[in-house]
């Protein structure tokens, strides 16, 4: 049996579904492809983890900014141009040798889009939302993060009124790096608390 359409064999099942839906909507004239491109570009370059990574990198290199971020995260983040939906009321929590911070939203999936982009699927899943509070150490181990037994884990519950950004500890070996290079070490998971900042490559 022959057919004359191409297959998106390089796409996983979900991506292929999204591509098919987009194609149908565009062909029916219900969606302008330029609007889709603009939305994708917004979340890839103007909204998302890159923004949060720049906030963290600035806090690592600028003590005055770090202090501002601790006192008024909403204002400090907005000063870099990162504002908007679900980013109006922010609090930054700083990891230390004594305390590791973990963010969850037990009631729904409140998430700071302006600095972290769209929430990952697991963040919205009931098992994460319940177990992060009951057994945070166990949850972190499932993410591959095993912390020293004497390190306290503090869980922060996001709400519609207040959302959190974890500032991970700056990794050793990054001394003298500029903000742009440091931002490359900051992952989305490290700003939720389910991971750490990346170690500099040898």
Enter the pTM of the model: 0.78
What is the rounded distance in angstroms from the CA atom of residue 186 to the CA atom of residue 55? 10
State which residues form the domain around 30: 13-45
Q: In this structure, is residue 202 part of a structural domain?
A: no
What is the rounded distance in angstroms from the CA atom of residue 10 to the CA atom of residue 7? 8
CATH number reported for the structural domain that contains residue 115 in this entry: 3.90.330.10
Asked whether the beta carbons of 158 and 111 are under 8 A apart, the reply is yes
Q: In this structure, is residue 198 part of a structural domain?
A: no
pLDDT value at residue 46: 57
Known binding-site residues equal: 105, 108-110
pLDDT value at residue 66: 98
**Whether 40 and 111 share a structural domain:** no
Known binding-site residues for Fe(3+) equal: 105, 108-110
Nearest Cα to Cα of residue 165 among 156, 178, 174: 156
**Whether 34 and 97 share a structural domain:** no
**Whether 40 and 78 share a structural domain:** no
Report the C-alpha dihedral over residues 23, 115, 188, 192, rounded to 10 degrees. -120
Provide the number of structural domains found in the chain: 2
- pLDDT tens per residue, range 74-83: 999 999 999 8
- Label residue 40 by pLDDT band (50, 70, 90): low
Q: Which residues are catalytic?
A: 105, 108-110
How are beta strands 163-167 and 152-157 bridged, if at all? unpaired
């Amino acid at each position: 049996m022959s057919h004359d359409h191409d297959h998106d064999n390089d796409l996983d099942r979900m991506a292929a579904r999204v591509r098919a839906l987009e194609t149908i909507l565009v062909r029916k004239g219900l969606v302008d492809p330029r609007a889709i491109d603009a939305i994708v570009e917004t979340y890839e370059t103007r909204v998302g983890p890159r923004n949060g990574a720049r906030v963290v990198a600035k806090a690592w290199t600028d003590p005055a900014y770090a202090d501002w971020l601790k006192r008024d995260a909403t204002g400090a983040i907005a000063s870099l141009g990162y504002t908007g939906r679900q980013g109006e009321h922010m609090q930054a929590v700083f990891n230390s040798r004594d305390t590791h911070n973990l963010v969850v939203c037990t009631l729904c999936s409140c998430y700071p889009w302006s600095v972290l982009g769209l929430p990952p699927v697991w963040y919205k899943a009931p098992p994460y939302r319940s177990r992060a509070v009951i057994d945070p150490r166990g949850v972190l181990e499932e993410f591959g993060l095993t912390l020293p037994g004497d390190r306290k884990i503090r869980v922060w519950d996001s709400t519609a009124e207040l959302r959190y950004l974890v500032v991970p500890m700056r990794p050793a070996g990054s001394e003298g790096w500029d903000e742009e290079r440091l931002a490359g070490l900051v992952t989305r998971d490290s700003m939720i608390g389910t991971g750490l900042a990346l170690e500099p490559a040898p």
